[in-house]
Amino acid sequence: MNLIHRNRIVYALAIITVIVLGLASRRYSLPYFIVTYAGDTLWALMVFFIIGFLFPTLSTIKVIIIALSFSFCIELSQLYHEPWIDNIRQNRLVALIIGHVFLWSDLICYTVGIIIGGLIELMVSTTFLSIDLHD
């Protein structure tokens, strides 16, 4: 698989955009399906973009594997409940990152979000992603 060089500015903008969309999906009155699943799907898409940002020369498939592994580990960590970690999870920012409760549906959302990220990356012009703005 060919290695690419991701433009970090483009990926930083993508990360910010996905964060805004994810927060908006929880805040506004939207259909039940979107409110229930969009946040987790967008969270995983954000993870994909963060991994791409941190490792700009990895192949898309490696970014997908790392993002899926990270996301699944976060979800599986939600099976662990002790007072100290549950107290930390009460913080809103921490809860947005590591969640509260394990849900099988989250694993599906993560998979969908990360696959969307991979497809976006593969569909967008390599020229656009490779623009070097001296990042």
Which of 27-41, 96-110, 119-133 is predicted with the least confidence, judged by mean pLDDT? Answer: 119-133
> Is residue 75 pLDDT above 60, yes or no?
yes
**In terms of pLDDT, which residue wins out, 94 or 51?**
51
Domain definitions of the chain by residue range: 8-129
Average pLDDT, the chain: 87
What Å distances lie between residue 38 and 64, 67, 110, 113, CA to CA? 19, 17, 10, 9
> What pTM was estimated for this model as a whole?
0.84
Q: Taking residues 64-81, report their average pLDDT.
A: 95
